[in-house]
Chain A
């Protein structure tokens, strides 16, 4: 079966750095996405990785290792507005997105 694992919940302090991990086992691989979702709202796109390595976009960076089936999302200089759920999703061989359950990130002052 297809499976994506990410921690259920994480807590971090405003101004700090947090890393959210995602491991996956899917039927094929055509890219990995990270989305941000505030409570009760729609997911919004953060990043896309299809090749190994680090993609940096402002305060957010995403890393991929295809051989390890592993990705992480790195959030720097945390702000209170970063409190949200972060969803990892993999595009499989049929170009279907397989979603993780999401990591709820709680930011404390």
Chain B
């Protein structure tokens, strides 16, 4: 089984809808991240969490919110989706004792019409 899983893998939705992307991990890592990837722009950090009680905004947090329900679960919400949030979304985890190498989930392809 994969160490980092994301659901759904693909989602098409309409402008204005609320969307939740979920991430679960079995690696036992405290640190979790949400990124979006757009063609030619690389990975951009949306939010990150260093433990269950710690939530931090990343580079592009506007229009997004997160919830860290447990060490193993980190959810990303789009309160009111807009077309420029169409992207590939990745969840990742890391462990500072392992030089913070990040392990990625398979990604969620989100299309907002």
Which residues does A use to contact B, with CB under 8 Å?
Answer: 8, 30-31, 33, 40-45, 48, 50, 87, 89, 91, 95-97, 99-102
Contacts and interface: CB of A to CB of B under 8 A. Distances in A.
B107 A42 contact: yes
Nearest to B102: A97
Given A41-B107, A42-B106, A42-B107, A48 B101 contact: yes
A50 B99 contact: yes
Interface of B: 40-45, 48, 58, 88, 90, 96, 99-107, 109
9 contacts: A8-B40, A40-B88, A40-B107, A41-B106, A42-B105, A42-B106, A43-B104, A95-B100, A102-B42
B42 A87 contact: yes
A104 B48 CA distance: 27
B25 to A, nearest CB: 13
Contacts of A44: 104
A102 B39 CA distance: 10
Nearest to A91: B100
Contacts of B44: 99
Nearest to A47: B101
Given A97-B100, A97-B102, A87 B43 contact: yes
A33 B107 CA distance: 20
B42 A100 contact: yes
Contacts of B88: 40
